[in-house]
Amino acid sequence: MVGASAQLWGARGKGSRARWGRQGTGRVPLLSVGVSARPYLSQGGLFVKVGMYHAVTGAIMSRRRMLQGAASVSALGAMGGLAGGPAMAEAHGNVRAEILKIPGVGMGSPTDADWQKVGEMCLGPTMSNVAEGEFAGVELTFMGLNNQNLHNFLFRGFLKPWEAYTGATINWIDLAQADYNARLQQSIATGTVDFDIIEMGAPFEGDTAGRGLLDEMPDWVKDQIEADDLVGYLQPPVGTWDGKSYRITIDGDCHTFSYRTDYFGEGAIGGAEVPSTWQQVNQVTKDLVGKEDPLTGLPAHGYLDALKGWGGFGMYFISNRAAAYVKHPDSPAWLFEPDTMKPMVNNPGWVQAIQDVMDLIAIEGAYPADQINADPGTTAFSQFLAGTGSMLMWWGDVGSSARTSDGSVVGDVVGFGINPASERRYNAVTASWEEERNEAPQMAYIGWGIYVTARVSGDEKKRKAAWSAAAHLGGKDISLWTSAYPSGFQPYRQSHFQYEEWEAAGYDRVFVEDYLGSNADSYNHPNAAIEPRIPGIFQYYSVAEDELAKGFAGQYASAQETADAIAAAWEAITDQIGRDSQIALYKASLGM
C-alpha cells in the first residue's frame, strides 16, 4: 500500500491541471496524515440552448445512444443474457476490467440492461456465501432514493441477477431527496419501520442505531465486502454504534470544486487563474455578469449557489462556504460549541458565508434566472453539467457524470479541486478573525451506506437474505463501476484510486488524475470539516434550510438576523432531544 500511495502522489505532479498551482496550501502528501499502511485519511431548471448548439449536442447524444445500444446487444450476445446464468470471472477475464467496459466512457448513460449485466458479473462473492435458491420465498422491502434516475434504479438492476440466483424477491420504496428525511424521521419517531433494508447516510446512525432500529452486521458480510479497503475516514467509528457495526459503505461523500476550464486561462472571460478562495469566487461571479458563455453562447455565470432547500441536504451547500471561514485547524468543532451545544451557526464566520450569498442575490445576472428556486439537484444536473455556470461545489460524482452521462456537455471542459479556501478565518475560541488562509474540505454526509433493520433480526433466513443483498450492492468490484459511471456515488475505497483501471475504461489520464485527486485531497486533508453523527442532525439541517430560504427571500433584515433565527431553532431542538446527552454524543463523535 505504501507503493500505491507513492504512485498516487507522484502521478499527480506536473501532468495535472491548474488545480495544483492554485491549491498550494492544500496539497497534502497522501501518507502525511494516515497510517503508513493506508494511503488515506486516518482522522476520526432546466436550461435553454441556442438553436445551433442544441442541434449539435442533439446529434452527439443520438450517436452515443446508437453506439451504446449496439454495444449492449453485442455484450449480451457474448454473455448469453441473464437466462444463460451468471457471468463468472473465469469466462470474462478480470471482472473489474470487464465491467468498466459497460457501456464504456463516451457511449452515453448506462441503461437498466447495463446495470443488470454489471450485477450479474459481480455475483461471485454472493455465490461463495449463498447457495442457489437458498432464499426462495423470502420477500424484502428496500427503502432508498430515486434521484436523477439513479440510486434505487441502479440497485434494482444490480439486484435482479441476485434475486434470480437466490430466489428472494425485493419490494421497493422510492423517495425523492427532498422527501427522504421526513419519511425516515416519521419511521424513527413512531417506531414503525416498514422496510428491511435502507439506503441511509452516516449522520442518521444516531437516530437509528442509537434507538435499536438496526441489525448488527454479521462477520461474514465484513469479509465479503472487504471492508478494510475503505478510505481511512470511512473506517470505524463511522458505521458503528456502541462498538457494533451496522453499515455497508457504498459512497464516500465529500464536496469537491468543479469548474469550467474554458472560463479560465490567458484571455478567458473568467481571468487567467482559477479562483482558489471564496473571496475570488465571489469576485469572478460578479465580474462575469453581462459576458457570454464560451461553450453555449448564452449568458455567462460564475458560482452556482443552491438557494432552495432539499429536505435538509441543502444545508451542506452553505456549509461549503462557511467551513472555509469557521473550521479552525485547532478544533474539530464548527457547528456547535462542544461543551454547551451552543450553535456556532450565528458567529461572524457563518454570517459572512450567508452575507456572501445575499450580496450575489442582489446583483442582477450574477445567478441564472430564478435561482431562488434552484435546489442542489438543479445546480448540478440542469445547470452545471448542462452548460450553465462555471463553478460548483457538489459531491464528487459530478465528475464521473461529466463524461458518461447523456445530460452532460462539459466533459471536455471541466476541472476539479478541493473546497476553495478563505483568505482569513474566524477563531471561535478567541472570538476574533485571523488573517490566515484556511482550507477546509467538507465531508458532506459521510457517504451513503446500506443498512439492515431490526425487523429481520428474529428470522435468520430473512436476515441472511437482507445482508446478502446489501453486501452485493457494497461489493468491492461493483463499487468501482459505481465510482466511474453515473450512480449518485463517488470513489470511496483505496482500490478506486488505481488510475490504470480508469484509463482502460476510456478516461484520459489527465482527467482521472484531476477528478480522483480532488477526492483524495479532500479525504486526506488535515482540516477536513466532518459532521457529527448525533441524533436529530437532519432536524437541525432542515430548520436551517427553512430559515435560510426566508433570509434569501428578504424576509429577514440581514445575514445576522437570518443566522440568529437558525441558532434559536437549533437551541430548541437540542433542548427537546436533551442537551446533556447531545453534548456527550457530539463530543464523542468528534473524538473529544
User: What is the CATH classification number for the domain harbouring 485?
Assistant: 3.40.190.10
**One domain for residues 344 and 424:** yes
Whole-model pTM: value is: 0.83
Contacts of 60 (CB under 8 A, 6+ apart): none
**Residue 442's beta-bridge partner residues?**
529
pLDDT of residue 241: 93
| Among 267, 268, 302, residue whose Cα is nearest residue 284 | 302
Question: What is the distance between the alpha carbons of residues 207 and 38, in angstroms, rounded to a whole number?
Answer: 31
Q: Residue 173: left if φ>0, alpha if ψ -120 to 50, beta else—which one?
A: beta
Cα 347 to its chain centre, rounded Å, is 27
Question: In the prediction, which pLDDT does 93 show?
Answer: 43
For residue 494 the three cell numbers come to 483505496
Low-confidence ranges of the chain (pLDDT < 70): 1-93
417 and 374 in a common domain? yes
Residues 246, 386: contact at Cβ < 8 Å?
Answer: no
Residue 590: the pLDDT is 87
Place of cell 494516515: 34
The answer to whether the beta carbons of residues 296 and 546 sit under 8 Å apart is: no
**Residue 25 is assigned to a structural domain of this protein:** no
Amino acid type, 305: D
Model pLDDT, residue 21: 30
> SS3 for 571?
helix
Check residue 591 and give its pLDDT. 83
| Count of CB atoms situated within 10 Å of the CB of 375 | 21
Residue 138, pLDDT score: 98
Number of domain units in the chain: 2
Q: Report the pLDDT value the prediction gives residue 84, as an integer from 0 to 100.
A: 38
Contacts of residue 224, defined as CB under 8 A and 6 or more positions apart, other chains included, come to 125, 126, 128, 129, 471, 475
Closest to 241 (Cα-Cα) out of 218, 208, 219: 208
Give the separation between CA 448 and CA 199, rounded to whole angstroms: 7
> Are the CB atoms for 108 and 67 separated by under 8 Å?
yes
> Is 31 domain-assigned?
no
* Under 8 Å between Cβ of 438 and 282: no
Domain end marker among 507, 523, 539: 523
Q: Is residue 107 part of a domain?
A: no
Structural domain of residue 321, as residue ranges? 255-444+530-589
Task: Note whether 312 and 365 are same-domain residues.
Answer: yes
Final residue of a domain: which of 497, 523, 549? 523
The answer to the question of residue 29 being in a domain is no
Q: Of 480, 506, 523, at which residue does a domain stop?
A: 523
Contacts of 460 (CB under 8 A, 6+ apart): none
Tell me: do 231 and 307 sit in the same domain: no
Burial class (CB in 10 A: 0-12, 13-18, 19+), 281: buried
Asked whether residue 305 falls in the same domain as residue 399, the answer is yes
| Domain contains 188 | yes
Same domain, 207 and 328: no
Could you give the angle at which helices 348-361 and 559-577 cross, rounded to 10 degrees? 130
pLDDT at res. 33: 26
Same domain, 373 and 435: yes
In a domain, 96, yes or no: no
150 and 268 fall within a common domain: no
Question: Domain check: are 432 and 489 in the same one?
Answer: no
pLDDT for res 87: 43
Do 209 and 310 reside in the same domain of the chain? no
Residue 18 lies in a domain: no
What's the grid cell of residue 50? 441556442
pLDDT at 390: 98
For residues 232 and 264, membership in a common domain is answered with: no
Strands (E), 49-110: none
> Which residue is listed with cell 450567508?
354
The model's pLDDT over 185-201, given as tens digits with 9 standing for 90+, comes to: 999 988 889 999 999 99
SS3 427: strand
Residue 554 within any structural domain of the chain: yes
- The string of DSSP codes covering 359-395 is HHHTSTTSS-TTGGG--HHIIIIIIITTT--SEEEEE
Counting Cβ atoms within 10 Å, is residue 124 exposed (0-12), middle (13-18) or buried (19+)?
A: middle
Residues 484 and 570 grouped into a single domain: no
